[in-house]
Structure 1
Amino acid sequence: ACKLTGGGNFRIPDDIAILGVDNDETICQLSSPNLSSLNQSVEQGGYDVAKLIDRQIRTPEAGWEDVVVKPTHIITRQSTDIYANNDPYIAKVLKHIHENISQKLTVDNLVTLVPLSRRLLETRFKKEMGTSIYDYVIQIRIEKMAQLLCEGLSVSDAAAELGFSDIKNVSRTFKQLKGYTPSEYRQAMSPTR
Structure 2
Amino acid sequence: MKQIGLKLRFQDGYDMAVAGGVVQYARTKGDWQVRGQGPWFFSLDQEALSECDALIARIEDDQEALFCASLGIPVVDIAGSSSLKLFSQVRNDDYQTGVSAGTYLKKLGSKNVAWCGVDQVHWARERFVGFASSLSADPSEIASFSRPLAWWRQLYEPSVELDAWLSDLEKPISLFCCNDLSAMKVELACQRLSIKIPSHVMVLGVDNETLLCELASPSISSIQPDCKTIGYEASAMLDAMLSSKQSGLHIRRIAPAPVTERESTRLVLCEDEQVANALRLIKTRATSGLTASDVAFEASICRRALEMRFRKYRGRTIWQEISDEKLDQSCLLLSHSNATIAQISEQCGFGSVHRFYSLFKRAYDVTPNQFRAKKQRF
Q: Distance in 1 between the 2:195 and 2:308 partners?
A: 27
Larger Rg computed on CA atoms: 2
1:128 aligns with 2:128: no
**1:140-171 deviations in Å (ceiling 9; x for gaps):** 10111011100123211211211223101110
CA contact (8 A) 1:101 1:141 kept: yes
1:145 aligns with 2:307: no
After TM superposition, list the pairs within 5 Å mapping 1:169-184 onto structure 2: 169-184=355-370
Tell me which residue corresponds to 2:341.
Answer: 155
1:58 to partner: Cα distance: 2.4
1:73 to partner: Cα distance: 1.4
CA contact (8 A) 1:17 1:83 kept: no
Tell me which residue corresponds to 1:189.
Answer: 375
CA contact (8 A) 2:326 2:349 kept: no
Greater relative CO (CA pairs within 8 A, separation 6+): 1
- Matched residue of 1:71: which SS? coil
Q: Where does structure 2 lack aligned partners over 5 or more consecutive residues?
A: 1-161, 170-192
Q: Which has the higher strand share?
A: 2
1:77 to partner: Cα distance: 1.5
1:71 to partner: Cα distance: 1.2
Q: Distance in 2 between the 1:107 and 1:135 partners?
A: 9
TM-score in terms of structure 1 length: 0.87
After TM superposition, list the pairs within 5 Å mapping 1:21-170 onto structure 2: 21-59=206-244, 62-152=247-337, 153-170=339-356
Percent identity between matched residues is 24
TM-score in terms of structure 2 length: 0.47
CA contact (8 A) 1:40 1:71 kept: yes
In structure 2, relative to structure 1, the CA distance for the partners of 1:119 and 1:65 (3 Å cut) is: same
1:134 to partner: Cα distance: 0.4
Q: Distance in 1 between the 2:163 and 2:212 partners?
A: 17
CA contact (8 A) 2:198 2:267 kept: yes
Letter matched to residue 148 of structure 1 = L
In structure 2, relative to structure 1, the CA distance for the partners of 1:111 and 1:14 (3 Å cut) is: farther
1:41 to partner: Cα distance: 1.6
In structure 2, relative to structure 1, the CA distance for the partners of 1:54 and 1:187 (3 Å cut) is: same
Q: Where does structure 1 lack aligned partners over 5 or more consecutive residues?
A: none
Tell me which residue corresponds to 2:47.
Answer: none
Larger CA deviation: 49-58 vs 9-18: 9-18
In structure 2, relative to structure 1, the CA distance for the partners of 1:62 and 1:45 (3 Å cut) is: same
1:5 aligns with 2:167: yes
CA contact (8 A) 1:111 1:121 kept: yes
CA contact (8 A) 2:297 2:303 kept: no
How many residue pairs match? The answer is 192
Q: Distance in 2 between the 1:123 and 1:105 partners?
A: 19
Q: Distance in 1 between the 2:297 and 2:168 partners?
A: 34
Tell me which residue corresponds to 2:24.
Answer: none
**1:95-120 deviations in Å (ceiling 9; x for gaps):** 11111122121233222433222222
- Matched residue of 1:19: which SS? strand
1:6 to partner: Cα distance: 4.6
